Structure 1
Amino acid sequence: AGDFSRPTTQKHQQAAAEKFGFEVGELTAELAKQHGYDQSVKGVVILSVDAGSDAADNGLAPGMVIVSVNGKEAATVAEFMAEIGGKSSSDGVRLRVLDPSGAKRFVFVTPAKG
């Protein structure tokens, strides 16, 4: 695993991402290089995943990059949060993720209960 610094985001944005069991940050050039991503990759990097969450159960892991949410590009944390922030407590989201090997796949995650 890499050394991920915590992004500075607003409290409501953190809560929106955390309800899905993971935290994201901007994919900087340094993080892209560290994980072997091409500089052309646009998305948000997964910084942490809660053990036992739907995100963890579906194979999300730190270092993966989320490139879209529900079919809409998520090149920045702001774009990512705009897509997931308005979801109700029971709505899931479809993420297109890229791992360091270059494999892309879709993952559907639901918010944590309670």
Structure 2
Amino acid sequence: MSVRVRRVYETPQPEDGVRVLVDRLWPRGLSKDAAAVDEWPKGLTPSTELRRWYHEGEASYEEFARRYEAELAAPEAAELVDVLRESAEEGPVTLLTASKSPDHSHAAVLAHLLQG
């Protein structure tokens, strides 16, 4: 299974496979053609409340990850996780985020969940 995380602003690569935008909002200043996004399942993104809470700066990444995993366990999100996992079993999947720190973002949490 191949799941990786990249910034959506990076140039698409052939080895990206299926490119999945996992941000709730479309990245600023990026055209849809340049992004080359194959899927945009908004049901996999952190809730607005969780995202705002984390970006206030007082939350630890570990607590954010725990809360986001709990959101992903909800039936609708869990179904989307399963679909994405199946896709990753068939070929490479690249989770795309506009986050400046992809390794400390919801995309990294989702990638870990998919691979685990």
TM-score scaled to structure 1, two decimals? 0.29
TM-score scaled to structure 2, two decimals? 0.28
Structure index of larger Rg:
2
Compare the two structures and name the one with the higher strand fraction: 1
Bigger relative contact order (CA 8 A; separation at least 6)? 2
